[in-house]
Amino acid sequence: MDEVTRTFTASHKHCDRQFAALEHAFASADWGPAESHFRQLRDDLLRHLAAEEEILFPAFEKVTGHAQGPTRVMCMEHDQMRELLQEMSQALAARDSGALPGIAETLLILMQQHNMKEEQVLYPMLDEMVAESERREAVEKLAHHT
């Protein structure tokens, strides 16, 4: 019954590990691995956000009748994460070791706060309220990298 909570929390932890590897590469000015870790983090994080926005959130909004509630806040934070990923991509391409730590720290704080809200509040609600078929579809999207 806690399929969304389990799967999407594991995805958060996976992204956290990728982020740590990326920060280590930044700190070493090891640009090749930093770019590789960044691409993996970006791709996995964007896939995670898409599974939520395209499947879970609309299903939740349909059940609750609230499109301006918690999912709206989550989507606004997703947009902020996308902007920070874009800034990070540009700083990496420019090898801007002065800008990268600040962008990375901002993204990390946003991700941590966002993930806590999802893991403690939204995911349990999704597991309880959203139809099993839609929960499975979201889990499949996340798992199969589609």
Domain range summary for the chain, segments of one domain joined by +: 3-143
Q: Could you tell me which residue, 56 or 87, shows the higher pLDDT? A: 87
Length of the chain: 146
Name the band, by pLDDT with cuts 50, 70 and 90, for residue 41: very high
pLDDT per position as a tens digit, 111-142 = 999 999 999 999 999 899 888 888 888 888 77
Tell me if residue 66 falls in helix, strand or coil: coil
Alpha helices, DSSP H, located in the chain: 3-27, 31-51, 57-64, 70-93, 100-117, 123-129, 132-143
Q: What is the arithmetic mean of pLDDT over 39-44?
A: 96
Question: In 3D, which of 32, 120, 54, 111 has the Cα closest to residue 78?
Answer: 111
The first and second tokens of residue 99, run together, are: 């800008």
Q: What is the arithmetic mean of pLDDT over 64-74?
A: 86
Q: What is 3-143's CATH topology?
A: Four Helix Bundle (Hemerythrin (Met), subunit A) (1.20.120)
8 A C-beta contact, residue 80 and residue 110: yes
**pTM for the model:** 0.90
